[in-house]
Structure 1
Amino acid sequence: MAFISRFINPFTDYGFKRLFGTEANKDLLIDFLNQLLPQKHQITDLQYARNECIGVNELDRKAVFDLYCVSQNGDRFIVELQKARQVYFRDRSIFYSSFPIQEQGQVGNWNFKLASVYTVAVLDFVLTANADVINTVQLKDQHNEVFYDKLTYIYMEMPKFTKTEDQLETQSDKWLYLFKHLPDLQERPEQLQERIFHRLFEAAEVANFDRAERDRYEQSLKSYRDLQNVLSFAEMDGIEKGIEEGITQGIEKGIQQGIQLGIEQGVQQGIEQGVQLGIGKGIEQGVQQGIEQGSYLATARIIQNALDKGFSVAQVASLVDLPVEAIEKFINK
C-alpha cells in the first residue's frame, strides 16, 4: 500500500476534484478564483457545468476540462491542473478556451455580445522565462494596450513559488503555499487560520474519507507517482544525452579554435579559413540533426516508459500531446 500523508495531494486528479470540483466544497473554488480575478469579476456564486465540450458536429475534436463552471453573471471559467509539460501547451489553452466562446452563440437576431472567459491553469512545471509565479495573459495591441479584456489566461507556475510559511502575506500567497505543501503538512500552519482554510483542511484530511473514497484516492496517487517517475527518468536520460552531445560539441569547438589559432598565426591562412567554414557548417548541421534525433528519442523513451508503467494509450497520448493513432503506430512498430 502506498504511503498516505495526512492531507490529500491536490496535484492528483482525485484530490483536485475533491477539493474544488464538488458542490459541497464550492466555496473553496470561489475563494481561490477570487484571488486571481479583477474586482469587477469577483464571484459570489457559481454553477458547475459539463466538463466535456464537443464541436459543431460529432466529427469535431472535443475538449475535456478538469473543471468548468459559470459564475452568477455568466462569466465562464475553465480550471485546469497540468502535471507535465506538453509541447503545444499554449496552443491547447487557446483551443480549449474557444469552446466556452462558441457555446455562447445564439440562433437568430444576436448582437455577438459575449461573457468573459477565463482559463486558470495550475502548473507543476515552469512555462515562462520570467520570475513571476502567476502570469496573466490577454490580447493586446502594438502599444501594449489591452485590446479585448473578456478573454484571459492565468497560469500559476508552482515550481517558482518559494515562500516559506513566515513569508506569506496575501491570501493568494496562502493558496499557493497550500498547493505546493499540503501533502507534506502534519499540522495546520499558524499562518492559515482563516475560516476558508479550516474548511479546506477538513475536506483534505484523508482520515475523513470512507473506504471507497480512500481507494479512489490511493489509485489516483499511484498514477501521479508513476507519472512523476516517468518524467524523472526522461529528465535524467535527457541530461545524460545532453552531456554526451556537449562533450562532442566541445571537441568540435576545440578543433575549430585550434584551426582559428593557426589562421591567426598566418600558417596557410587561406586554406585554413576554408576548412574552418566547412567545419562550422558541418557542426551546425550535425548539432541540428543531433538535437532532432535526441528530441525523437526522448519522446520515444517517455512513451515506452509510460506504457511499461501501465498507462493506457489515451493517457500516453495526452502526456506527450500526440494523437492516439501515433501511439498505436509506435506500439505496432
Structure 2
Amino acid sequence: MTELLDPRNDFLFKRIFGSEENQDVLLAFLNRTFTEAHRPPLREIIVLNPYIEKGSPLDKQSILDIRARTTEGELINVEMQLFNRYDMEKRTLFYWSKLYSSQLVEGQSYSTLKRCVTINILDFALLKNDLYHSVFHLHEDQTGITLTDDIEIHFLELPKLNAQAAPTKQGGLANWLLFLKGVTPDQWEVLTMNEPKLKKAMDTLEFLSQDQEARMRYEARQKYLHDQASLMEAAKNAELYGFKAGMEKGIQEGIEKGIEQGMEKGLEKGIEQSLQQTALRMLKLGLDTHTISQVTGLNESEIRTLAHSSD
C-alpha cells in the first residue's frame, strides 16, 4: 500500500476539505465543530475560494485557507497551522477583521454585516488550558452579556487530543481531528462508524496519496513549510543569541562603570581625608578656623567638628 500523505499539510488539507466536490465533507466537519459549541447545524455552505488545480503551493501568495458562506450569509474561515509563529492571537484577530470588513461595500449600512467565524486547527499547543477545542466570543466581564455574536473564534489544538480523546463509535469532532492528526488506517473503521463524510475524506486522502502529481505538489509544499520553519527557528535563535550577548555586554559595562565610579568615590574620599588631616595640623599650630578654611576649602563648621573630635 502506498504510504499515506499527511492531511495536516495545508495544501493537502485544502484538497480534502476545500474542493467543490468535497463541500459535503467540509459541511460535516463544520457541523461537528459547531455542535461542540452548542450551535445549530448548518444546512448548506458555499466554498468561496475552492481549491484550484493550477495553483502553486510554492507561491507565497497562495491562499491555502478555506472560506465559506452559509445560506444565512455567515462567513467562515478555516485554516490549518503547522508552526507557531508566536503571534497567533493577533494574527487571528487581524484576519478575522479583514473577513468581517470585506462584507461592506461603499454605501452599505453596518447592519448588513453578518457573523464571521474563524476556525484555526493548530498542530501545536497555544492556549493555557487543557481543552483541545476552545471557543471565544465577545462578552462583558462582570455580567457575561454578549456585546455582539458577530465574532466567533475556534482553536482546535491537535496535541491536546491525547489525554482527552480516543476513536469512538459514536463519532464527533474528536474523530475528525484524530484523522487529521494521523491515526493509523487500522483505526479508521471505528472513526467512520457514525461519520460517513469522514470516510469520504479518508478516501480522498488515499486517492491523493497515490496520485503522482498530487504527491509532487505535496512534497513541494512540505519543503516550503520546512524551510519556513527553519527560518523561524534561526530567527528565534538569533534573537536569543542577541539577548544573551546584550546581557553579557550590559553586565561587563556595568562592572566597568562600577569600578570607575568606585575609583572616583575612593579618590574623592582620599582627598577629603587629606584635607581634614591638613586642617588638624593647622589647628595644632594655633591657626584660626577662618584661615584654615581659606587654605583647605573646608567650611568652618567642619573644622570646628574636627577640633572637637581630636580633643
Query: Do both proteins adopt the same fold according to a TM-score greater than 0.5, normalized to the shorter chain?
Result: yes
Which residue, 9, 13, 22 being the options, matches 2:10?
A: 13
> 3-state SS of the aligned residue for 1:191?
helix
1:16-75: CA deviation from partner (whole Å, max 9, x where unpaired): 111111011111111111112256552222122248xxxxxxxxxx99561111112111
* Alignment correspondent of 2:83: 84
Closer/same/farther in 2, CA of residues 18 and 64 from structure 1, 3 Å limit: closer
Distance 2:30 2:116 in 1: 13
Alignment of 1:267-282 (within 5 A): none
1:22 corresponding residue in structure 2: 19
**Which aligned pairs between 1:140-155 and structure 2 lie closer than 5 A?**
140-143=139-142, 144-155=144-155
Instruction: Report the CA distance between 1:174 and its aligned residue.
Output: 0.3
Q: How much has 1:13 moved relative to structure 2?
A: 2.3
Q: Give the Cα separation in 1 of the matches to 2:133 and 2:231.
A: 27
> What is the CA distance between 1:232 and its match in structure 2?
7.3
Moved more, 65-74 or 187-196: 187-196
Query: Partners of 2:117 and 2:28 in 1: how far apart?
Result: 15
Q: Closer, same or farther in 2 for the Cα pair 1:120/1:178, shift >3 Å? A: same
Identity of aligned residues (%): 22
CA RMSD of aligned residues (A): 3.7
- Matched residues in 2 for 1:10 and 1:41: separation? 27
One-letter amino acid matched to 2:82: K
Match of 1:134 in 2: 133
Equivalent runs, 1:38-187 vs 2, <5 Å: 38=37, 40-50=39-49, 64=63, 66-108=65-107, 110=109, 112-143=111-142, 144-163=144-163, 168=168, 170-182=171-183, 185-187=184-186
Change (3 A) 1:36 1:188: same
How does the TM-score come out when normalised to structure 1?
Answer: 0.59
Deviation of the 1:196 alpha carbon = 1.5
Partners of 1:166 and 1:137 in 2: how far apart? 25
The 5-angstrom pairing of residues 152-301 of structure 1 reads 152-163=152-163, 168=168, 170-182=171-183, 185-194=184-193, 195-206=196-207, 209-226=210-227
Q: Distance in 2 between matches of 1:7 and 1:65?
A: 20
Q: Contact 1:12–1:221 at 8 Å: present in 2 too?
A: yes
Q: Is the 8 A contact 2:10 2:64 kept in 1?
A: no
Looking at structure 2, the residues matched to 166 and 134 of structure 1 have their Cα atoms a distance apart, in angstroms, of 15
Q: How many residues align?
A: 234
Whole-angstrom CA distance in 2 between matches of 1:100 and 1:28: 23
Provide the C-alpha distance between the structure 1 equivalents of 2:62 and 2:106, rounded to a whole number of angstroms: 23
Structure 1: how far apart are the matches of 2:182 and 2:78? Answer: 20
What's the CA shift string for 1:240-279, capped at 9, x where partnerless? 98xx99xx9xxxxxxxxxxxxxxxxxxxxxxxxxxxxxxx
SS at match of 2:111: coil
CA shift in 2, pair 1:6/1:116, >3 Å:
same
User: If the length of structure 2 is used for normalisation, what is the TM-score?
Assistant: 0.63
- Mapped to 2, the partners of 1:40 and 1:152 lie a distance apart of 11
Change (3 A) 1:228 1:95: closer
Q: 1:102 to 1:166 in 2, by over 3 A?
A: closer
8 Å contact from structure 2 (residues 17, 201) kept in 1: no
**CA separation in 2, counterparts of 1:212 and 1:130?**
40
Q: Distance in 2 between matches of 1:179 and 1:125?
A: 13
- Contact between 1:166 and 1:191, CA under 8 Å: does it hold in 2? no
Contact kept in structure 2, 1:81 and 1:122, CA below 8 Å: yes
Aligned partner of 1:34 in structure 2 is 31
Paired position in structure 1 for 2:282? none
Q: Which runs of 5+ in 2 are unaligned?
A: 51-60, 249-311
Q: 1:5 to 1:163 in 2, by over 3 A?
A: farther
SS, match of residue 33 in structure 2: coil
Q: Deviations over 1:102-127 (max 9, x none)?
A: 12224446362321100000011111
